[in-house]
Amino acid sequence: MICNRSLHNSFHKDVKLKFHLCILISLIFCFFIQNSTNASDLINKEPIIFTSDEVISDENNNVIKARGNVEILYGNNILRADSVNYNEIQDILIATGNVSLLEPNGNVLFSEYTEISGDFKSGIIKNLRIRLSDNARIAAIFGRRTNGNRTEMINAVYSPCNGCGNLNENNPLWQVKAKKVVHNQEKKQLEYYNSWMEMAGVPVMYLPYFTHPDPSVKRKSGFLTPSTGTSTYLGTTITTPYFYAISPSKDLTLTPTLTSKENALISGKYRQHFGSGEIDSTISATYDTDNEFRGHIDSFGKFDIDEKWRWGFNAHRAADDTYLRLYNFRSSRTLTSRAYIEGFGTKNYLLFDAYAFQGTSIDDDSGTTPLIAPAISYSAVGEPNSYGTRPSWEASTVVMTRSDGTDTRRISIRGQLSRPFVSKYGEIFNLSGNLNGDLYHVNNLQRTTKDESFNGLSYRINPKLEGEWRLPLAKKKGSISENLEPRVAITLSPYGGNPNTIPNEDSIDFEFDDTNLFGNNIFTGYDKIEGGPRASYGLKWGLIGDEGGYTGIFIGQRYRLKADSTFATGSGLDENLSDYVARLNISPNNYLDILYRTRLDKDNFSPQRNEFQTNLGPDALKLSANYIFFSPQNDQFLGREELSGSLLTKLNRNWSSKLLGRYDMKDNGDLRNFSINLNYECECFLFSTSFNREFFQDRDIKPSNTILFKLSFKTLGDVKTNL
C-alpha cells in the first residue's frame, strides 16, 4: 500500500493533520483487508496514491472527505476534483467540482459531479464530457459506467472537430447527435442509437443505428467506403470493398465491382507480415461481354534469412495489354516479375536473380521478350596494400532465352587496381588499371553486316589504364565560399571490342550528359564497351552560402584520338570531339530551385538536349515546371520535346488547389493530360474535387474525362464519386 499526502492549509495544526492522515490510511487499509480472504488478495490490490489540501474524517458516517486539489491515482487511472468524499461502507467515491478522470487508454472524462466505485469500474456521471485519445469529443447529459469497459451516454453529441470550420462552439463543422451512445471498450467501438448527422448545425442524415471503431482500433473487419463512377469502357461502376482483419499480422481486402457495360469484377489484396518478412499481393479477375477472361496479379515479397542473407520476389502479370489501364490498376509499359536471393558481406555482395517481362505496347512481341534465369553477380573490394593500392573485382553470368529470337549466355569478369593520392599542392590523383573479360555463347544472333545468323562462342579481353587529376580550390569571402575545380581524366584502351558476334542486350539506351562524362564506360551494361584512347575534361565552379544557398556551373567535353562507329550519329560521341555537356544549379534559398542540363553541338553550340526543372515560391504558392528536349538521333528515335508543370496554392491552412498539365511540343503539339483539383482539409473533414482529362489512346483505351468528388468524415469514413 502506498499513501502520499500534501497538506497546505496553514490553519491546521501538524498534530491534527497527522491524526487525520492516519485515520484515512487506516480506513482504506481496513477496507481492502475486509474484502480479502487471504494475504494474496491483498498483495494483488493496486496501490493508491492520494493527495489533497485537506482531509476530514466523518467517523459516524464512515466517510472520508478530501478538499482542495484532490488527486487520486489508482492503477493507471488518475482522478482529479475540487473535493472527493469516500464512503467506506458503499465503496463509492463522490467527486465534485472540476472533475476529470484520465483513463489508461488516453481518454479523459470531465464533469462537475461523478460517483465512481472504489475500483474505478462503475459509476455515474452528470453533464459528461469526454475527450477521446484522438482528440474527438463526446458530450452527454448523463453517463453510466459499468464493469470498467462500458460507458452508456444519454442525449449525446459526438464530433472530432476542434475549431475546423466551426460556426460557434455549439455548431462544429459536423457532429453526430444520438439519444444514446455506448462506448463498448470490450468490442472497442462506439455505438449510436436513434442518431442523426448535422453539418454546421443543419441535420443532413438520419441513422437509426450505426457503429464505428474507437480510437484504440488501428484496423477492424468490415465494409469500407463504397465508391461509384463512370468510364467510357466500363460505364457506371459501383465498388464496395470488404476488409477482413485476419490477425494482427495479416489481412485481406475483397473488392467486388459492378459495371453497367461489362461483367462484374472481383479483386483481392492480401497482406501479411512474418516478422522476418512481408507479402503484399493483389489479384483480380473478370470475364468481359465476349466471355474472355481478363485479370492480373501484382505481388511483392521480401524476407530476411539471417543478418547477411535475404530473398524476395515481384510478380506483375496481366491477361492482356490494356486490362490494367481500363480497370485503373497500376500499370507500366513493361511489367516486370523477379525472384532473387542476395547476400551482404563486409566488403562483398552476391546476387542470384531471375526476371520475366511482359510488354503492354502494341508493338511488343512476346516471342522476342526474354526470360532471364539465372543472373548471378558478385562484387568485392579488397584491403589496400602498403602502397595504398586497393584491388576490386566483380563477376557476372546471365542466361537469356527467347521462344523466337536470340538466346544469350554470358560470363564476365572485371578486375581493377586503383591508387589514389594527394599531392602537397592539394591535387587529387587516382590511377587505376582494369582488365575485363567476357565470354558469350549465342544462338540465332542476327548480324547487321551479314544475312546469316550466328551460333557459337565469342569472347573479348579489354585492358584499360586510367589516370584522373583534380584540383579543388576554395576561398571564403564574407558569408560566401567560392569553389573552383578543374578535372581531367585520360583513358588508354584498345580500339574496338564490339564485334557483331556479341549481342547488345543491356546497353541499348544511354544518354551522354554531365553524369557519365567521367565514367570509365559510358554504356550502362556489359554488352557494349567503349574502346580507344580518350580524354575527358571539365570545369566546376560554385558559390555556397553559410545559410545553405548554392549556385554551381559545370561544363565538360570528351576527346578521342579517332572517331568511333560504336556510337550512333547524333549521340554526341560519334566524332573525335564530343558535344559539350553542361549543368547549372541555382538554389539561393527555399523559394527557388533551378536545375538546367544541356548538351550543345561542338561546332555551333545548338542545343541537342535540354532539361530544365524549377521549383519557385513558398508552400502557399509553388510553381513547378519541367522542360525536356532531345534532338532526333536516328529513324527509331525521332526526338522529343515536352513541357509539364504544376501550380500548388494554399489559400489558408485548410484550402488548397493544384493544377497539373503535360504538353507535347513536338510538331503541331498536343496536350497529353490536364487536371485540376480543389481541397479543403482539417482535423475532422476532407473535401476534394478534381477534373482530369486524359488524351491517351491505345486500342480499346480511348481519351476520357474523369471527375472525382470525395468527402471524408474523419474517424467515420469516406464518400467518393467518380464521374
Instruction: Dump pLDDT digits (tens) for 664-705.
Output: 988 777 889 999 999 999 888 888 888 888 888 888 888 887
478 has pLDDT over 70: yes
Helix (H, G, I), strand (E, B) or coil at 319: coil
User: Residue 163, Cβ neighbours under 10 Å: how many?
Assistant: 11
SS (H, E, C) 250-276: EEEEEEEEEECCCCCEEEEEEEEECCC
Q: pLDDT, tens digit, for every residue of 180-235?
A: 999 999 999 999 999 999 998 899 999 999 998 999 888 888 888 777 777 778 88
pLDDT level of residue 99 (50, 70, 90 thresholds): very high
pLDDT of residue 14: 41
Determine contact, residues 713/174, Cβ cutoff 8 Å: yes
* Choice among 542-546, 631-635, 704-708 with the minimum mean pLDDT: 631-635
Residue 34 has pLDDT above 60, yes or no: no
CB burial readout 551-590, b (16+ within 10 A) else e: beebbbbbebeeebebbeebbbbbbeebbbbbbeebbeee
Measured between alpha carbons, how far is 465 from 491 in angstroms, rounded to an integer? 6
Amino acid type, 691: F
User: Tens of pLDDT along 420-471?
Assistant: 999 999 999 999 999 999 999 999 998 766 668 899 999 999 999 999 999 9
Least reliable range by pLDDT among 210-214, 316-320, 631-635, 654-658: 631-635
Whole-number pLDDT of residue 288: 92
Which residue segments constitute the domains of the chain, with CATH numbers given?
1-120 (2.60.450), 133-218 (no CATH)
CA distances from 591 to 285, 588, 621, 623 (A): 48, 8, 10, 10
Using the predicted structure, report yes or no on whether residue 722 has a pLDDT greater than 70: no
- Residue 678 neighbours by CB under 8 Å, 6+ apart: 655, 656, 657, 688, 689, 690
d(Cα 274, Cα 242) in Å, to the nearest integer?
Answer: 23
Q: Are 576 and 562 in contact (CB under 8 A)?
A: yes
Helix (H) or strand (E) holding 454: strand 453-470
Asked whether 459 and 438 are in contact (CB, 8 A), the reply is yes
Q: Report CA 21 to chain centroid distance, whole Å.
A: 58
Residue type, 273: H
- Over residues 111-121, the mean pLDDT reads 93
CA distance 141 to 152: 11
What are the cell numbers at 290? 465476349
**Residue 591 — very low, low, confident or very high, per pLDDT cuts 50/70/90?**
very high
Q: Nearest 5 degrees, angle CA 283-CA 286-CA 287?
A: 150
Residues above pLDDT 90, as percent of the chain: 67
Predicted pLDDT at 8: 36
Mean pLDDT, the chain, whole residue set? 88
- Report d(CA 692, CA 674) in Å as an integer: 6
Residue 34 in 3-state DSSP? helix
Q: How far is 673 from 706, CA to CA, in rounded Å?
A: 11
